[in-house]
Amino acid sequence: MSTSEETQRLQRIVLQRLESLQRAGVLQLPKAAAIELPAAEPVQEAAAQQPASHPVATHPAPPPVAEPTSPRQHETAKSASLAEGTVEKLSAKKPAQNVRLAARRDALAVIQQEVAGCTMCDELVENRTQTVFGVGNPQARLCFFGEAPGADEDRAGEPFVGRAGKLLNDILSKGMGLTREEVYILNVLKCRPPGNRNPAPDEVGHCRHFFERQLETIQPEFICCLGAIAAQTLLETTTAVGRLRGQIHDYKGIKVVVTYHPAYLLRNPSAKSETWKDIKILLEGMGLPVPKRS
């Protein structure tokens, strides 16, 4: 798909969501930078400019932002901060990349606003501190897909923080040579199940369209499912994680690798060697160097 076609597709998504929000009575959205449409002349496909040896888009860390005054503002500010910082750093020589990033960021902001106002799951709404949308690069080649926020994530408004998040960071940095800012991290559910119980089937059904639209907007090439709930939900199967591992699956044309959830690895450190095998499948599939493991 050319950049101009993708821009039009994302614009359609944004318009549809704006109309949906308006119908739902939402009249105000988080402030976002204006999208400058490309000139009538077709823009150069940005991806073609990237050498094959650097398949993961790398962007610098976001600049500091004004202190948010509420958890929900904090959640929105983090996403906006990353995207805006990345947009600023992108050279004016890359207008197509700039437009694409802004369009994806705006499409995600619309979905995030819907999530923040969602009241579909009574028990989760009663118990949540805030919704936990997702974090990372809107143009990531790789998404990490987990289960649901835990207590730390519910407090922070960001997926995979706390001990499990630290382990995921280690897998990224030490195992893959990547940072959180280079990938995108999201969960099946956007609200914490009380007591960290498993998501109920009806909750997954309510929340499915949110993660599907996040993935449709980001268009990653790879998804790494962390744990049984994420893998079985995405692949719509009841097969156990142990049998889903070790191969590449397909989700709407996106390559999917399944591994254990970091929280499981904290409880079962001996399974880390199995996760390393899965990460190697991912690295090889992405054409990234496989570091020697000490």
Contact residue for ligand SF4 among 153, 181, 203, 278 (CB under 6 A): 203
Classify residue 267 as exposed, middle or buried by CB count within 10 Å of its CB (0-12, 13-18, 19+).
exposed
Closest alpha carbon to 132 in 205, 86, 74: 74
Q: Which of residues 103-122 bind ligand SF4 (CB under 6 A)?
A: 115, 118, 120-121
Determine the interface stretch with ligand SF4 among 187-195, 224-232, 268-276, 279-287 (rule: CB under 6 A): 187-195
Please, what is the angle between helix 228-235 and helix 201-218, to 10°?
Answer: 70
Determine the interface stretch with ligand SF4 among 28-36, 90-98, 167-175, 205-213 (rule: CB under 6 A): 205-213
Min separation Cβ 201 and ligand SF4, Å: 12
- Looking at residue 284, the DSSP 8-state letter turns out to be H
Q: Is the dihedral of CA 30, 213, 147, 166 positive or negative?
A: negative
* Distant-in-sequence, close-in-space partners of 165: CB < 8 Å, separation ≥ 6: 152, 153, 159, 262
Is-contact 260 275, C-beta < 8 A? yes
Contact residue for ligand SF4 among 207, 234, 279, 288 (CB under 6 A): 207
Should residue 230 be labelled a site residue for ligand SF4 when binding is judged by CB under 6 A? no
Min separation Cβ 119 and ligand SF4, Å: 6
Contact residue for ligand SF4 among 131, 137, 214, 233 (CB under 6 A): 131
Min separation Cβ 69 and ligand SF4, Å: 22
Min separation Cβ 25 and ligand SF4, Å: 16
Is-contact 145 226, C-beta < 8 A? yes
Should residue 125 be labelled a site residue for ligand SF4 when binding is judged by CB under 6 A? yes
Closest alpha carbon to 107 in 208, 22, 216: 216
Alpha-carbon dihedral 207, 210, 214, 217, rounded to 10 degrees: 150
Should residue 206 be labelled a site residue for ligand SF4 when binding is judged by CB under 6 A? yes
Min separation Cβ 10 and ligand SF4, Å: 22
Nearer to ligand SF4, 98 or 112 (CB): 112
Determine the interface stretch with ligand SF4 among 6-14, 96-104, 199-207, 279-287 (rule: CB under 6 A): 199-207
Judged by CB under 6 A, how many residues of this single chain contact ligand SF4? 14
Residues 83, 88, 93, CA angle at the centre, nearest 5°? 120
d(CA 35, CA 100): 9
Contact footprint for ligand SF4 (CB under 6 A): 115, 118, 120-121, 124-125, 131, 189-191, 203, 206-207, 210
